[in-house]
């Protein structure tokens, strides 16, 4: 039994990475409090942080594998579960090849100690030609724009929130999300600080969110209007001679192309599409240019929409045109203590980024950055013919609820001959699996975020140990991934040697890194490095990432420098300061300059131009998040589910009145993709003409094991999202700005 005492833990639920103090009494969690001494979060947490105990103790959480027997699941040993996978997978691969097998990676992959470090090993080791992910209902447009502007898809410029004095927040609601592609605890407190030091915060959002409430100005934009607004801001800057690259002078290609592109996007020309007054647009361009330290920050509202790529790109364009990119108080690149696997250019893009290299079989959707839209998955399973998918490995994802057209996926999944879910719950997606393999709870494993520190506002880091030792019979998720990779490669379950596979992966990685000119171990003997890095699995990898990171001891090169052991000795974390200019280090474009006007993105501008005249007819639907909810999977934590129903349709009073809707009545919401019925919440926080549903609900499906969530089922907003509605350049789903009809049910 775990001795009584207080343990330090970093919350892995979102990008804020808050420090927690977990008190254990009599082998159980007695209390979870914010860790006031955490150097990074300094005592900040949100209500989800304290729910880790409920997640750990949830009687519905799976602790042993489940294997399907007809319509039910039976508990099995790990050996039996792996054998069942082998039994199902082998004939598929022998008959149809690996083209018939795919995987889907969900959001917790990015947050999980094991999965985040081994997902990059899994796909190549398994040899899967095509995989899917939640990325195409999320940040794919920004990945695309990063790839073309900076030469690196995971290199995000983030607002230097602690030093800027003018911040534009577009399509992000940190009041709920706690920051996204912006790791920063207590974003709202930091927005208050901007205002306190005399700065200004502007929120661009069709909804007057909790974030907008804390801003100086709210721009209730028409959904999808962001790219037009940003181009108009650029146009004003050029027209008024206020473009000033400052230190970026000579380091940017394409400024003149941008000038030409935005020439006809005057504030007047975009009024209709943005729904904003030209005078306000013009004034704000001036304020942006006048501010010494300013940043534009865009997040999911600028991605999951019709012009996702253009908007994501233009956010950085504005930061460049005002000379604020890579400048303190502007939009900067973090310098993580431990470099992330995502910073490595995938071999397929070693010679530059090329798109549309292949197309999806059924719809002909072009590949972008190695993926096609997640909405393709359903038809790839359901449509017979050469290349039809027969096997699916879902890793920490719930696409039946999270993907547009998830109802089609729900109908298609039972057709698979082999479906494996690596998941801790029997939920809307995993209920279709033949085998479910659970990972550890958060409290049963160590923690250090893999990729999130790459967009953190400070160069900080912290490692927390597991609090409860996991059952020794149970593999960690990295071991599960390596085993699944081996099974996919046709190995017999009984023969899989996880340690050997891990050694193969690690030695290969070290060898690759030792050849990178940008690496601190370039030219060193990889064998020596491997021998000097003890341990196994994610902790060994993390140790390597820290030791070869900017403050690392680098295998004798910098004695006294950081190692995992040294970091672990400081559970409250270490902090090496605020972001520093480092464009030269992060740029990976061939020109070694920022490519501000990439042809591929610019080619989408005419589509935007054509849309400028589109009027506002009828209602459109957008999504929202809530601080007490986390995508589709935390509705089973009782303490988060108290209070009023949060799965409601927000409707502006004038729209409600004209449709005979009032608070609490059921409305029928219909789109070209589907329909649902949901309770109305009349609210003037909506822009008129825009209605809003939260995402991640719809827990009324038969066959799940979610006692609490199923009593608060809610409805799945993705039933309304047409699967083929995508941002064409990136293939990212459009789940905001969907035309809907709303009537009283």
The least distance separating ligand SF4 from the CB of residue 713, rounded to whole angstroms, comes to 23
The one of ligand MGD, Mo ion, ligand SF4, none whose footprint includes residue 396, by CB under 5 to 8 A per kind, is ligand MGD
Decide: is 737 part of the binding site for ligand MGD (CB under 6 A).
yes
Q: Mask of contacts with ligand MGD, 684-713, x by CB under 6 A?
A: -----------xx-----------------
d(CA 500, CA 497): 5
Decide: is 207 part of the binding site for ligand MGD (CB under 6 A).
yes
Q: Which residue has the tokens 């942006």?
A: 288
Of 677, 696, 694, 692, the closest CA to residue 738 belongs to 692
The C-alpha angle with vertex 358 and arms to 343 and 108, in degrees rounded to 5, equals 40
Query: Rounded to a whole number, what is the distance in angstroms from the first to the last CA of the chain?
Result: 55
The least distance separating ligand SF4 from the CB of residue 134, rounded to whole angstroms, comes to 17
d(CA 121, CA 116): 10
Structure tokens at 555: 């295998």
The one of ligand SF4, Mo ion, ligand MGD, none whose footprint includes residue 486, by CB under 5 to 8 A per kind, is none
Is the distance from CB of 98 to CB of 391 less than 8 angstroms?
Answer: no
d(CA 186, CA 24): 26
Q: Which of 491, 572, 631, 710 binds ligand MGD (CB under 6 A)?
A: 631
Of 648, 646, 658, 652, the closest CA to residue 683 belongs to 652
Q: Which of 8, 17, 22, 501 binds ligand SF4 (CB under 6 A)?
A: 17
d(CA 401, CA 410): 9
CA atoms within 13 A on the CB side of 111: 20
Please compute Rg for the chain using Cα positions: 25
Cβ-closest position to Mo ion = 138
Output DSSP code: residue 469. P
The least distance separating ligand SF4 from the CB of residue 336, rounded to whole angstroms, comes to 17
Q: Which of 7, 9, 10, 14 binds ligand MGD (CB under 6 A)?
A: 14
The least distance separating Mo ion from the CB of residue 209, rounded to whole angstroms, comes to 17
Is the distance from CB of 405 to CB of 734 less than 8 angstroms?
Answer: no
Cβ-closest position to ligand MGD = 301
Q: Which is nearer to ligand MGD, 436 or 501 (CB)?
A: 436
CA atoms within 13 A on the CB side of 212: 18
Backbone angles phi, psi at 561, to 5 degrees: -70, 180
Decide: is 717 part of the binding site for ligand MGD (CB under 6 A).
yes
Q: Which of 51, 83, 136, 305 binds ligand MGD (CB under 6 A)?
A: 305
The one of ligand MGD, ligand SF4, Mo ion, none whose footprint includes residue 177, by CB under 5 to 8 A per kind, is ligand MGD
Decide: is 143 part of the binding site for ligand MGD (CB under 6 A).
no
Of 22, 44, 57, the closest CA to residue 638 belongs to 57
Q: Mask of contacts with ligand SF4, 46-85, x by CB under 6 A?
A: x-xx------------------------------------
Decide: is 418 part of the binding site for ligand SF4 (CB under 6 A).
no
CA atoms within 13 A on the CB side of 190: 25
d(CA 466, CA 463): 10
Q: Which of 14, 498, 709, 715 binds ligand SF4 (CB under 6 A)?
A: 14
The least distance separating ligand SF4 from the CB of residue 18, rounded to whole angstroms, comes to 3
Q: Which of 176, 261, 314, 496 binds ligand MGD (CB under 6 A)?
A: 176
The least distance separating ligand MGD from the CB of residue 113, rounded to whole angstroms, comes to 9
Question: Which residues of the shown chain bind ligand MGD in the complex (CB under 6 A)?
Answer: 14, 106-108, 112, 134, 137-138, 170-174, 176-178, 180, 204-207, 209, 221, 223-224, 226, 299-302, 304-305, 396-399, 402, 422-425, 427, 439, 477, 622-625, 627, 629-633, 695-696, 717-718, 721, 735-737
């Amino acid at each position: 039994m775990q001795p009584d005492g207080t343990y330090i833990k970093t919350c892995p639920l979102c990008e804020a990475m808050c420090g927690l103090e977990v008190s254990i009494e009599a082998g159980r969690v007695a209390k979870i409090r914010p860790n006031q001494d955490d150097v990074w979060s300094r005592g900040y947490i949100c209500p989800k942080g304290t729910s880790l105990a409920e997640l750990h103790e949830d009687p519905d959480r799976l602790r042993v594998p489940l294997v399907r027997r007809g319509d039910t699941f039976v508990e099995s040993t790990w050996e039996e579960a792996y054998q069942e996978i082998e039994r199902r997978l082998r004939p598929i691969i022998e008959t149809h090849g690996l083209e018939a097998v795919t995987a889907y990676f969900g959001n917790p992959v990015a947050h999980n100690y094991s999965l985040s470090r081994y997902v990059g090993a899994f796909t190549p080791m398994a040899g899967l030609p095509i995989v899917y992910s939640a990325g195409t209902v999320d940040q794919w447009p920004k990945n695309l724009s990063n790839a073309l502007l900076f030469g690196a898809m995971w290199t995000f410029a983030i607002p230097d929130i602690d030093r800027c004095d003018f911040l534009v927040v577009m399509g992000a609601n940190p009041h709920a999300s706690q920051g996204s592609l912006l790791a920063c605890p207590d974003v709202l407190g930091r927005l208050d600080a901007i205002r306190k030091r005399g700065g200004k915060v502007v929120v661009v959002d069709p909804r007057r969110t909790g974030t907008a409430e804390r801003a100086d100005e709210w721009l209730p934009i028409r959904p999808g209007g962001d790219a037009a607004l940003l181009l108009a801001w650029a146009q004003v800057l050029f027209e008024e001679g206020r473009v000033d690259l400052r230190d970026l002078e000579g380091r940017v290609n394409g400024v003149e192309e941008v000038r030409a592109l935005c020439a006809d996007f005057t504030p007047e020309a975009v009024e209709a599409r943005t729904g904003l007054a030209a005078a306000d647009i013009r004034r704000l361009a001036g304020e942006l240019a006048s501010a010494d330290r300013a940043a534009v920050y865009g997040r999911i509202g600028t991605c999951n929409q019709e012009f996702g790529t253009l908007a994501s790109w233009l956010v950085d364009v504005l930061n460049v045109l005002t000379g604020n990119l890579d400048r303190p108080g502007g939009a900067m690149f973090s310098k993580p203590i431990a470099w992330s696997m995502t910073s490595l250019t995938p071999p397929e893009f070693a010679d530059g980024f090329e798109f549309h290299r292949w197309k999806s079989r059924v719809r002909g959707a072009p590949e972008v950055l190695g993926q096609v839209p997640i909405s393709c998955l359903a038809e790839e399973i359901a449509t017979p013919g050469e290349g039809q998918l027969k096997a699916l490995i879902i890793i920490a994802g719930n696409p039946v609820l999270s993907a547009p057209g998830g109802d089609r996926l729900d109908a298609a999944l039972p057709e698979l001959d082999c479906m494996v879910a690596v998941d801790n719950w029997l939920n809307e997606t995993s209920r279709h699996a033949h085998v479910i393999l659970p990972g550890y709870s958060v409290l049963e494993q160590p923690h250090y975020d893999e990729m999130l520190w790459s967009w953190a506002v400070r160069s900080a880091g912290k490692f927390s140990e597991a609090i409860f030792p996991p059952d020794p019979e149970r593999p960690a998720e990295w071991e599960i991934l390596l085993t699944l990779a081996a099974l996919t490669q046709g190995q017999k379950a009984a023969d899989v040697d996880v340690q050997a596979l891990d050694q193969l992966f690690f030695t290969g990685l070290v060898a690759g890194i030792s050849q990178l000119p940008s690496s601190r171990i370039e030219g060193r003997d990889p064998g020596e490095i491997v021998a000097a890095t003890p341990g196994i699995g994610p902790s060994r990898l993390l140790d390597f990432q820290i030791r070869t990171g900017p403050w690392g001891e680098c295998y004798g090169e910098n004695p006294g420098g950081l190692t995992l052991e040294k970091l672990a000795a400081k559970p409250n974390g270490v902090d090496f300061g605020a972001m520093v200019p480092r464009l030269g280090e992060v740029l990976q474009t061939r020109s070694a300059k920022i490519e501000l006007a990439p042809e591929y993105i610019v080619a989408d501008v005419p589509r935007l131009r054509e849309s400028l005249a589109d009027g506002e007819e009828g209602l459109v639907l957008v999504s929202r998040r809530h601080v007490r909810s986390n995508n589709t999977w935390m509705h089973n934590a009782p303490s988060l589910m108290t209070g009023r129903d949060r799965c409601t349709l927000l409707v502006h009073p004038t729209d409600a009145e004209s449709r005979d809707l009032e608070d609490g009545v059921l409305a029928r919401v219909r789109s070209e993709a589907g329909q649902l019925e949901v309770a109305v919440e009349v609210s003037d926080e909506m822009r008129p003409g825009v209605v809003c549903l939260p995402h991640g609900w719809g827990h009324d499906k038969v066959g799940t094991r979610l006692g609490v969530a199923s009593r608060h089922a809610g409805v799945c907003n993705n039933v309304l999202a047409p699967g083929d509605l995508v941002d064409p350049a990136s293939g990212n789903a459009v789940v905001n700005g969907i035309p809907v009809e709303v009537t009283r049910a």
